[in-house]
């Protein structure tokens, strides 16, 4: 029998069927130890703590979190993490633990402060910094030079990916008016800015692949009929999008190591061996994978977007098959971090179980990981002997794409349990290393935390109203005056 090129995990109503060691390691963690689930649930209840986590957490941690019977647990993309932390505070949670990289805990801290919950402690689960290669790209001198160029260009707006530190956002906002974005709202942000601010120059960063993909997306948009363009944004047509193209700029030296290797070799293997599968691709992947996903999307067989967009696409295709009464195995290329498998399994399997209980036909969904099938590492402490990710710890394989983010994997179940055991009703001084960075230094007469939170608040206002806040528009126009 010919072995599959990539490992995969087939999801049925009552089983998980892995192919390849990588998929076996993922599947094993999706059935959590009941004792660990009880231990975590008890600690969360006793400490009245909430947990907000990113989709890219390892499957062991996500598996236990998803099995806990405690209302203050939420796993999502970075956009929703701060919003859910605020909701938990409103509902009475006394402490928030953030499972992600450091800019995520910083964003949660800033948004809680802005919402009147500065008294709610926020903790990371590691003493050491939890970095991010992409966020660090925006702290390099080259990014400062990029922002200076933007400041010297009339009517400039800096659209910064939310996956950056608060101090990056603060320093940027001090140089040029800044609004944050996520992969799910960046297209709408750029188009709204172009509609609301005449002759605006958009400076996107720091993700180079996303910037290049956006530029190609806008070029394709400019060739569409006006009716289709207006369906995406009512204020635009071919002429307005074409006029925007030379005024859309992106930083060319910023990458995320998780998505970096979804390049030409991976795409060729997908094309040769998986011609009839659905393709999902995060906006941060290199151009080859982006183009593959975009082509599939144009035919209704794929999606390019955020982690939430990818999850919604998979669930949507399963629901469509259920509505048609299909008996089939739906196959999906997962063009993002492997941690997405946990919410996909949980939600897809719930739909399949409901369908099966109603007498539906045999239906399954197979998630294909475009990584080397041997992309695992030995880990004696895991109890399994192996965990996803190659031996170097970086989680990537040149035979495939990136399996896991090494920074995200600094958030372990053991670390979360250890933190919660030390949390008391009153904040403890020895927990200070687990708090988000304070950024007490002043920039333009304001603390970095305060100034860095403003671009996030601009985004939140845009999310609510559909328009850029007047204060931001005025800032762009005012700073353009000689």
Contact 9, 26 (CB under 8 A): yes
The verdict on 125 and 140 lying in the same domain is no
User: To which H or E segment does residue 54 belong?
Assistant: strand 49-54
Domain tally, the chain: 3
Q: Indicate whether 193 and 238 sit together in one domain.
A: yes
Q: Which two tokens stand for residue 401?
A: 């794409």
pLDDT of residue 237: 96
Q: State how beta strands 8-11 and 16-19 pair.
A: antiparallel
Determine the Cα–Cα distance for residues 70 and 85; give it in Å rounded to an integer. 14
CA 227, distance to chain mean position in Å, is 31
Asked whether residue 114 falls in the same domain as residue 154, the answer is no
Domain contains 370: yes
Measure the CA–CA gap between 280 and 309, rounded to whole angstroms.
9
Cα separation of 84 and 393, whole Å?
31
Pairing label, strands 446-447, 442-443: antiparallel
Non-local CB neighbours of 476 within 8 Å, separated by 6+ positions: 155, 156, 157, 177, 197, 200
Residue 165 lies in a domain: yes
Residue 275 domain-assigned?
Answer: yes
Answer yes or no: do 272 and 371 share one domain. Answer: yes
Give the predicted TM-score (pTM) of the model: 0.71
Q: Is residue 1 part of a domain?
A: no
- In this structure, are 67 and 153 located in the same domain? no
Q: Is 239 in the same domain as 325?
A: no
Residue pair 374/22 in contact (Cβ under 8 Å)? The answer is yes
What pLDDT, on a 0 to 100 scale, did the predictor assign at position 372?
Answer: 47
* Rounded distance between C-alpha atoms, residue 261 and residue 259, angstroms: 6
Tell me if 3 is assigned to some domain. Answer: no
265 within some domain: yes
Q: What pLDDT shows up at residue 23?
A: 81
Domain stops at, among 362, 391, 406 = 406
Is 118 within the bounds of a domain? yes
Q: Is residue 2 situated within a structural domain? A: no
CB 218 within 8 A of CB 241: yes
List helix spans (H) across 282-412: 287-298, 307-324, 341-357
Spatial distance between the Cα atoms of 56 and 442, rounded to a whole number of angstroms: 33
Instruction: Look at residue 392 in the predicted model and tell me its pLDDT.
Output: 28
Q: In this structure, are residues 122 and 435 in contact, taking their beta carbons and an 8 Å threshold?
A: yes
Q: Residue 122's closest CA among 158, 90, 85?
A: 85
β-pair type (201-205, 278-282): unpaired
Structure confidence at residue 364 (pLDDT): 95
Q: Looking at residue 212, which CATH number applies to its domain?
A: 3.40.50.10800
Q: State phi, psi for 123 to the nearest 5 degrees.
A: -130, 145
Residues 214 and 338 in one domain: no
Q: Are residues 233 and 283 in the same domain?
A: no
Residues of the chain with pLDDT under 50: 1, 259-262, 372-403
CA dist 16 and 349 (Å) reads 9
Q: Look at residue 406 in the predicted model and tell me its pLDDT.
A: 63
Residue given tokens 């001090």 in the structure block: 174
CB 191 within 8 A of CB 233: yes
> Same domain for 123 and 165?
no
- Check residue 397 and give its pLDDT: 32
Which residue carries 């400062």 as its tokens? Answer: 144
* Distance from the first to the final alpha carbon of the chain: 72
Q: Domain range spanning residue 77? A: 30-130+413-434
Beta bridge partners of 249: 203
Residues 63 and 20 occupy one common structural domain? no
Q: Are residues 397 and 265 in the same domain?
A: yes
* β-pair partners for 402: 396
Q: What is the pLDDT of residue 5?
A: 77
Name the E strands within 79-177.
Answer: 95-99, 122-123, 156-161
**Beta-strand pair 201-205/156-161:** parallel
Same domain, 276 and 395: yes
**Cα(21)–Cα(374) distance, integer angstroms:** 6
Would you tell me how many other CB atoms lie within 10 Å of the CB of residue 99?
Answer: 28
Q: What was the pLDDT predicted at 208?
A: 83
Instruction: Say if residues 452 and 173 touch (Cβ distance below 8 Å).
Output: yes
């Amino acid at each position: 029998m010919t072995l599959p090129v990539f490992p995969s995990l087939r999801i049925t109503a009552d089983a998980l069927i892995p192919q390849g060691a990588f998929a076996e390691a993922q599947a094993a963690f999706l059935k959590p130890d009941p004792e660990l689930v009880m231990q975590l649930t008890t600690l969360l209840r006793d400490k009245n703590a909430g947990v907000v986590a990113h989709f890219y957490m390892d499957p062991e941690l996500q598996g236990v979190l998803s099995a806990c019977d405690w209302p203050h647990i939420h796993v999502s993309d970075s956009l929703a993490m701060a919003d859910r932390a605020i909701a938990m505070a409103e509902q009475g949670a006394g402490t928030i633990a953030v499972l992600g990289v450091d800019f995520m805990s910083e964003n949660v801290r800033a948004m809680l402060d802005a919402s009147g919950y500065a008294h709610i402690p926020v903790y990371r689960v590691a003493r050491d910094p939890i970095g991010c290669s992409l966020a660090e790209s925006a702290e390099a001198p080259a990014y400062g030079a990029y922002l200076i160029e933007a400041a010297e260009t009339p009517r400039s707006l800096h659209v910064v990916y939310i996956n950056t530190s608060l101090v990056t956002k603060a320093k940027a906002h001090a140089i040029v008016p800044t609004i944050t974005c996520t992969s799910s709202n960046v297209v709408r942000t750029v188009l709204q800015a172009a509609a609301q601010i005449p002759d605006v120059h958009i400076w996107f960063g720091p993700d180079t692949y996303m910037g290049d993909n956006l530029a190609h997306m806008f070029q394709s948009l400019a060739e569409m009929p006006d009716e289709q363009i207006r369906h995406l944004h009512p204020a635009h047509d071919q002429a307005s999008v074409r006029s925007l193209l030379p005024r859309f700029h992106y930083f060319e030296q910023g990458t995320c190591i998780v998505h970096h290797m979804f390049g030409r070799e991976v795409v060729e293997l997908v094309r040769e061996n998986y011609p009839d599968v659905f393709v999902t691709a995060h906006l941060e992947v290199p151009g080859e994978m982006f183009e593959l996903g975009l082509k599939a999307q144009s035919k209704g067989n794929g999606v390019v977007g955020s982690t939430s967009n990818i999850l919604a696409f998979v669930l949507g295709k399963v629901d469509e098959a259920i509505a048609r009464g299909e008996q089939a195995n739906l196959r999906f290329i997962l063009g993002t971090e492997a941690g997405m498998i946990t919410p996909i399994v949980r939600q897809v399997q719930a739909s399949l179980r409901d369908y099966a209980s109603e007498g539906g036909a045999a239906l399954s969904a197979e998630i294909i990981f475009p990584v080397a099938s041997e992309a695992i590492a030995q880990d004696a402490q895991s109890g399994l002997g192996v965990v996803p990710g190659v031996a170097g710890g970086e989680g990537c394989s040149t035979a495939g794409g990136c399996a896991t983010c090494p920074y995200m994997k600094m958030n372990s179940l053991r670390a979360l349990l250890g933190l919660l055991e030390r949390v008391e009703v009153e904040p403890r001084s020895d927990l200070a290393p687990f708090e988000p960075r304070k950024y007490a230094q002043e920039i333009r007469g304001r603390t970095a935390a305060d100034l860095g939170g403003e671009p996030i608040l601009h985004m939140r206002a845009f999310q609510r109203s559909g328009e850029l806040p007047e204060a931001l528009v005025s800032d762009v126009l005012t700073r353009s005056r000689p």
